[in-house]
A and B are shown apart, each in its own frame.
Chain A
Amino acid sequence: MSSHKHTPISARHTEKPSFNAEQMAEVQRVIAQYPEGKSKSALIRILHMAEEAFGGWLSIETMDYVAEILKIQPIEVYEVATFYTMFNIEPVGKYVFEVCHTGPCMLVGSDNIITYIENKLGIKVGETTKDGLFTLKTAECLGACGYAPMLQCGKIFHEHLTPEKVDQIIEAYRSGNTNF
């Protein structure tokens, strides 16, 4: 509970992360969207990029690296990374399922879908499968209430979920067939 408050950070990467040239150009493009001296505004966007580039989560090394790029103090990055719920500050599975469990989704059966996924993957909410493929989380309203129940995985919203549809989705991710 109380996600926007004190979350300890401790997880580390062993290697220092580094954006490749293409990623760095994208970082610079984003920074240039803000006036001189206001590059800190690019922080959240860059954290999303860093998460994508460095294993789906933010280690202390990654956050320090982002601070270096934006020329701000590491604490300014930690503060933000721990406030926003989308950022993972612990390692996660390759695919993170975030199932919405807020009112409108609950009205049409999100609780059952969550239980179904738990049983299917053999994990509880908050856990990652042993093969490191899936992490299951719950999320608050994701803006798909009329197409519920739903889950988000990366940039993709899977909507109108039924047990059969969940089976198909999991199968697709398992086989690497992720062109939804």
Chain B
Amino acid sequence: MGRRILLEHDNVSGIETYEVYRKQGGYRSVEKAIKKMSPEQVVEEVQKSGLRGRGGAGFPTGMKWSFIAKPEGVPRYLLCNADESEPGTFKDRYLMEKIPHLLIEGMIVSSYALGCNQSYIYIRGEYMWILDILEKAIAEAYANGWLGKNILGSGFNLDLSVAPGGGAYICGEETALIESLEGKRGNPRIKPPFPAVKGLWGCPTVVNNVESIAAVVPIVNDGGEEYAKIGLGKSTGTKLISASGNLVRPGVYEIEMGITVEEFIYGDEWCRGIANGKKLKACVPGGSSVPILPHYLVCKTATGEDRLMTYESLADGGFASGSMLGSGGFIVFDEDQCVVRNTWNFARFYAHESCGQCSPCREGTGWMEKVLNRLEHGQGNMRDIDLLAEINKKIEGNTICPLGDAAAWPVAAAIRHFREEFEWHVNDRETSQKRNYGLVKEPSPIK
């Protein structure tokens, strides 16, 4: 069994209730932090742990916390990002549904560390039933004195509530999330100022992913150094992976960072291989925004080393032959899947989800969708493939938020690795409408 620290108790019956959670050692980190540690010491432990943001960008959490401005007399806010809308990602949902008190405990300790007296969990509107679960758990936490005024007699006050979104991927971007929490359209803000200085209602704000906040609990309980011993190198700790696509056993898994990709896909403990005895064709290892890897680059890097489930190893080879850990949305394609179709599908997603604020993204994502649509449906031509690369360049780096980049990169990666499959859709239109291309050939190594 791999090491599980977040989901250690997910199979304990009744773990969603306060009593059972508490019996399993729940809320110990709050006692420890509030009674024995200063807020600065909690921040220090998180820094020592090497925890990196689990929402996708992998930014060190402790460092982010150290940036929060502390002007006299101005409230600070901690916002938990439970928007979880990156295609392929459903781990936060699992954690909140199964162990809601773990998130609440993490919110209390993290709010204490940051000096926040009011915190919010922003959850995607489609998870409305989880909002109910969280509100129930929050009420239990209030009733048992973990929230509200003068927690554990320390003088520390904290109110926590949950706010739903209304269906918009962009609200996962932290400044759009803040706009949405202010009751507005989810248009990302220009940075700087960063939320750490001017966030919710113009006040210093930290936005963290559900899993990052939950990880603070074991970090405080066992100490940052202990946490840092789990994992590999700069990828410390465990990571929740949402596995989907053509797998024997898709689902949410907590892995210790550093296991091999091969083990994760084929291992008995994890996904148990490709469904229906088929072959692996490709994998998008970190949510729809990260580059796709062809079968020969999934389990091995371009230099022939084992690819590992770490931030570094998944990115090995850069955009030429690597990808990213991202949100941990691990999407697996079998040999019968069409890469052109999937690239079009994702492009449609981004065109649908662009907030419309920046023209390169609004128009660019729409164009990419159109061009890919015609390629997929046998109406494209060779120039379209280059046109996609051009549109890409016009979006990349020219927008307020990274949604444009997130839309552009996967298309670029798909063309880079599967160009022959795209060309086949042009050269052999009829066949391409009848069957799928199959596996791409591994390019022979250049000596």
Contacts and interface: CB of A to CB of B under 8 A. Distances in A.
Contacts of B90: 143-146
Contacts of B288: 102-103, 141
Contacts of B242: 145-146
Contact of A145 (B165, B183, B244, B355): B244
Interface residues of A, number: 46
Nearest to B85: A141
B168 A83 contact: yes
Contacts, number: 172
A33 B200 CA distance: 14
Interface in B313-352: 329, 331, 333-334, 337, 341-342, 345-346, 348-349, 351-352
A5 B345 CA distance: 20
B252 interface: yes
B246 A107 contact: yes
Interface residues of B, number: 66
Interface in B68-110: 75, 84-90, 92-93
Contact of B93 (A3, A4, A139, A143): A143
Contacts of B356: 2, 4-5
B170 A4 contact: yes
A45 B163 contact: yes
Given A143-B85, A145-B244, A146-B244, A102 B349 contact: yes
Contacts of B351: 1-2
Given A5-B362, A141-B88, A80 B183 contact: yes
Interface stretch (B13-21, B118-126, B219-227, B381-389): B118-126
* Most-contacted residue by chain B among A40, A101, A144, A145 (CB, 10 A): A145
Nearest to B370: A1
A118 interface: no
B413 to A, nearest CB: 14
B125 A107 contact: no
A40 B331 CA distance: 38
25 contacts: A1-B348, A1-B366, A3-B353, A4-B168, A4-B186, A5-B356, A44-B165, A83-B186, A84-B125, A85-B168, A102-B346, A103-B87, A103-B284, A103-B288, A103-B331, A103-B346, A104-B244, A104-B245, A104-B329, A107-B337, A140-B85, A140-B352, A145-B244, A145-B329, A155-B129
Interface of B: 75, 84-90, 92-93, 118, 124-129, 132, 159, 161, 163-170, 180-186, 201, 242-246, 250-252, 284, 288, 329, 331, 333-334, 337, 341-342, 345-346, 348-349, 351-356, 362, 366, 369
